[in-house]
Structures are given as C-alpha cells and as structure tokens.
Amino acid sequence: MINIFEVNETNNMIEHECLDVRTITIGINLLDCVRFDVKSTCDAIYEKITRIAKDLVSTGNEIGKEYGVPIVNKRISVTPIALVGSSICKTTEDFVEIAKTLNRAAIQVGVNFIGGYSALCSKGMTKSDELLIRSIPQALAQTEYVCSSVNVGSTKTGMNMDAIRLLGTIVKETAELTKEQDSLGCAKLVVFCNAPDDNPFMAGAFHGVTEADAIINVGVSGPGVVKAALTQCRGANFEVLCETIKKTAFKITRVGQLVAQEASRRLGIPFGIIDLSLAPTPAVGDSVAEILEEIGLEKVGAPGTTAALALLNDQVKKGGVMASSYVGGLSGAFIPVSEDHGMIEAAQCGALTLEKLEAMTCVCSVGLDMIAIPGDTTAATISGIIADEAAIGMVNQKTTAVRIIPVVGKGVGDTVEFGGLLGYAPVMPVNQYSCEKFISREGRIPAPIHSFKN
Amino acid sequence: MKKAIITVVGKDTVGIIARVCSYLAENTVNILDISQTIVDGYFNMMMIVDISASEKKISTMVTELEGVGNDLGVVIHMQLEEIFTKMHRI
C-alpha cells in the first residue's frame, strides 16, 4: 500500500518542483475534409476540429483536478495543410483562409495552439507546398494560435536546399509582418529535418499522414524534479548521477502515461505516444539549464556542456521508455533559449553562444530553439543556419529544428519580450561572414551514405 | 473499489481529523487507512479512502475539501490513488 512518504514525495514534486503534464495534444486527420472549394473545405475543417476536440479542455482540466497534477496545455495538431489544400488552394490567400479557419476552431474549443500549418518537402516541393510556405508570413501575422512547420530534410531523402533558401526569406518576412510584437510570428514557425509525425509539442506539432483519424499524444515535463533530485547527489559519481536521473524520469513519465490513458479513455480517442522531452518554462526552478548546472557546470555553455546534455538526454530516455507503453514525438531535452531561465542567463552573460548551442543540438532533440538574432541578419545567413542544423539531423539520423527570430529593429545587447511560456531572450550575435553563394545554389543535398540500409 | 488519497498538511490544531472525517461520512466516503505524523510542529496526515459509494463528482469533493482546509487553516488535497501507485510501483 502507498505510504505517506511516497505521497509526500509526489505532492512535493507537484507543489515545489514544477511537475506537470505539459500538453495533451489531439492529432486530427483533415484529409477527409477536402471539398470542391476553399469555403466548403474550411467549413468541413471547422466542423471536424470542433466536434472531435470539443471536450478536450474540460476533460484535461477534470483529469488535472482529480489527480492533483496540473495539465498546462491542451492543443491540437492537424494534417499538414499543404496536403489538405493541395487541390483547392490556388493562391497564398486561399491558404491563409484555412489558417484563419484553424484559428477560429482553436478559439472555439479553447486550446492555446493549433499546429499543422505545415509542408513536408524534404526532397522536393509540390506547387502546393511552395504556395503554403509563401503564405506562412501572412498566415502567422493574421492569426494568433496557428503554428507552422516545414520539414526540409531527412536522413532518407537528403536536404531540400531550394526550400531552405526560400525559408530564409520567409522567416525574414514573418519577422517583418509581426515587428510590432518583437517579430513574434517567427516563434510560431519551426523548420525541421526528420520531423516526427506524432510530436505533441508546439510549434512543430502536426498530425502525420501515417497516423489514425484522431489520436492523443502527451508531452510530460519536469526539469525542476530532475534538478531537485540531483541536489541530493552532489559530488557523487556518474553511476549515481545517471541512476538518479533515470529513476526521476521514470516517475515523471508514469504521470504522463496515466494522464494519457485517462484522456484517451474519457475522450474516446486512441492513445498515441508519450513524448519524453524535458520541456522547460521561463519560471525559476523549471529549467533544463539548471539541471546542467547542477550536474557541475558553472554556466551552460561552459566546456563539458555537450557531454552533460548527452548524459542527461540519454538517461531521461532510459528512465522514460520503461514507464510508458509507447514513446515517440521528439523525446529529448529541449534547449530553447527564451523559454528557459538558466539559458537566458547564460546567453546574457556570454557563456552561451549560437555555436555552442549548435553543438548541443547534436546530442539532444529539437535544435536551435527560440533564439533571438539581430533583425538585420540576411535571409541567406538564416538559410545557412537552417542548413547547418538540418545537416546535423540528416547525418545523425535524428530530429533537428530551427526556430529563430530575427527581431526587426533590434540588435545584439537588446532584449526581446515574447510573454507567457515563450519567455524573453537577449539578442544573440550571429557570425557575420556570408554564405550567400552556397545558399544560392539550386537543388538538393543527397542523402548520406549510411541511409542506404536496404 | 475506487480509491483516493487525502492529505492534510498544516499547523496542528484541535479537530482536524474530526472535521475531515465528518465531511467524508456525509458523502459516504469510507476510510480504509489513516497515518499521521507531526513534523516540526506541522500536522501531516494521509488517508486512503474508498469513494465508490459517493454520489458526488470527484472534482466537487476536491474543491469542497479544499474549502474545509481553508476553514481549518490547513491544506487538504484529495487525489485519485493511481497517480501515486503509477509513480511508485512498477
């Protein structure tokens, strides 16, 4: 039987160490919503989303209350809109209409983000993919809750450099169109390599075409719990360190698994996966950087950071995999700058640079995330940053992503305020040498040799 | 049987257990186990209860017990048992 110490341990995690379930995300297939024109397709999309997800928020809140664990976000991901709109959208404005419909549906059901305004073009762009990508700046400027992502490469297909070149200008345009809000639009746009079909986390969530009609994916969290556990083993050897992380990750993930199963049962939607990512928030004590510092770094970015992160990421997975029946999504430590108190501090004091962040992304999921860069950074340089990150993903057979914000009118030394979970960030310097000639080459980079496994 | 865990944490005072137990009795919640300690002058109690006979929604009881806690100046939580068994038992 459960004893008082175990109960207190769990409740202490919730009350003092920021343990929560970060998101319940319903993935919804929209391919069956395609009609003969944009208007009727939008109506069908709105109807399906508001029907399937109508009880998501109330059910999430109820589960949270009954188990006494906060469920922070309830979200929706949909089939990549480039596929949904391929036969009916003839202009970028047509795609923006769908974005507005998604936004209305999000407001109606009360979710705080809806993802899937996406194109999958890791090898080539269809006309529809290109139109959707070109519509992203307007779509993100005219909606509040819609999130966009583009997959530009994979280990099996190589990298689509035409899409990467285009996205450099799209990121710039998105920044320009949302400059009144510190270029916030870019915080809702992720460029992926090896994008997963079942990611529950925004801004990169979409409902892949390999998925069922509707599915529930859950993202757990708890950097604060891991950090608190590690304060108990200062100075201990690596074996003790790793065991502690693993056990803690197991406990955190079990809560996610329980919530996922309950949500699935109550909503009558099958359970998909648990995403094991440690997801920070800007709150003190809810930081991945603080874990790395607890492991023994003076500041994140110091030599040893990559090794410490590799260790952390691996142990979280080893603990989490046993706790859940299905693991998927991104499942790695997130290292967003603006959303992590410790990362912000490290960037502000100069300990953490863009280059070190890039190295860190070789050993954990996601990539260059929520990084503010000077507004005068060129489109080619942004494409270069995307290409570097995609190459890391492609060669290492892992997901990588870029979510950078070239903040219009701001330069190195300024601070940008995004608000809420998106946090704030110092504008970080970018290497000033040009990659213009490299990026202007057309075509794609072939798949790496080790992708030929058949 | 549907089990929940009730925890009461706060400054020790007269009648905490009495108030909680009478609330549970009114709502046909059966107490299966009680353990209690005082840590640094703070009252720390855990109850394992069976709520399957109660007609109230769990979330309603959670809110009402919070209210009882506020009256007594202590913090009272009621949570379904699975969150603890899942976390602490393989």
> How far is A384 from A390, CA to CA, in rounded Å?
10
Q: Which domains does chain A have, with CATH numbers?
A: 22-193 (3.20.70.20), 218-446 (3.20.70.20)
Number of domain units in chain B: 1
Of A3, A7, A72, A4, nearest in space to A251 by CA: A7
pLDDT digits (tens, 9 = 90+) for A100-137: 999 999 999 999 999 999 999 999 999 999 999 999 99
> How far is A342 from A294, CA to CA, in rounded Å?
11
> How far is A45 from A57, CA to CA, in rounded Å?
19
Q: Is pLDDT at B26 greater than 80 in this prediction?
A: yes
Q: What are A216's strand-pairing partners? A: A26, A271
What pTM does this model have?
Answer: 0.94
3-state SS class at A128: helix
Q: Is pLDDT at A197 greater than 80 in this prediction?
A: yes
Chain center to CA of A231: 28
Backbone phi, psi, residue A310, to 5°: -60, -45
> How far is A271 from A383, CA to CA, in rounded Å?
37
DSSP A292-352: HHHHT-SSTTSTTHHHHHHHHHHHHHHHHHHH-S-EESS-S----STT-HHHHHHHHTTS-
Q: Is pLDDT at A44 greater than 90 in this prediction?
A: yes
Q: Encode A283-309: b = buried (16+ Cβ within 10 Å), e = exposed.
A: eebbbbbbbbbbbebebbbbeebbebb
Whole-Å CA distances, A167 to A38, A375, A410:
25, 16, 21
Residue of A nearest to B79 (CA): A67
Whether the CB-CB separation of A229 and A430 falls below 8 Å is answered with no
Whether the CB-CB separation of A146 and A174 falls below 8 Å is answered with no
> How far is A217 from A198, CA to CA, in rounded Å?
7
Phi-psi region of A397 (alpha: psi -120 to 50; beta: other; left: phi over 0): left
Of A53, A48, A67, nearest in space to A24 by CA: A53
3-state SS class at B43: strand
Contact check, Cβ <8 Å, A2/B48: yes
Residue B39 makes CB contacts below 8 A (sequence gap 6+) with none
Would the CA dihedral through A363, A368, A371, A376 be positive or negative? positive
Of A276, A272, A274, nearest in space to A257 by CA: A274
> How far is B28 from B49, CA to CA, in rounded Å?
10
Q: Considering CB atoms only, which of B33, B37, B82 is closest to A1?
A: B33
Look at residue B42 in the predicted model and tell me its pLDDT: 86
Backbone phi, psi, residue A37, to 5°: -145, 175
Which residue of B76, B83, B85 to mutate against A (max A Cβ within 10 Å)?
B83
Look at residue A366 in the predicted model and tell me its pLDDT: 84
What percentage of residues in chain A have a pLDDT greater than 70? 100
| In the block, residue with structure tokens 């319903």 | A26
pLDDT digits (tens, 9 = 90+) for A386-405: 999 999 999 999 999 999 99
Residue B30's domain spans which residues? Answer: 3-88
Look at residue A229 in the predicted model and tell me its pLDDT: 93
Six token digits for residue A327: 């693991």
Q: Report strand pairing: A146-151 vs A271-275.
A: unpaired
Contact check, Cβ <8 Å, B87/A69: no
Q: Is pLDDT at A304 greater than 90 in this prediction?
A: yes
Q: Is pLDDT at A365 greater than 80 in this prediction?
A: no
> How far is A9 from A21, CA to CA, in rounded Å?
17
CATH of the domain at B58: 3.30.70.260
Helix (H) or strand (E) holding A67: helix A56-67
Q: Which residues of B touch A65 (CB under 8 A)?
A: 58-59, 62-63
Q: What is the DSSP letter of B29?
A: P
Stretch A222-250: mean pLDDT, rounded?
94
Residue of B nearest to A8 (CA): B7
Residue of B nearest to A67 (CA): B79
Q: Is pLDDT at A183 greater than 80 in this prediction?
A: yes
Contact check, Cβ <8 Å, A2/B84: yes
Q: Is pLDDT at A371 greater than 80 in this prediction?
A: yes
Residue A252: half-sphere exposure toward Cβ, Cα within 13 Å:
38
Residue B53 touches partner A, C-beta closer than 8 Å:
no
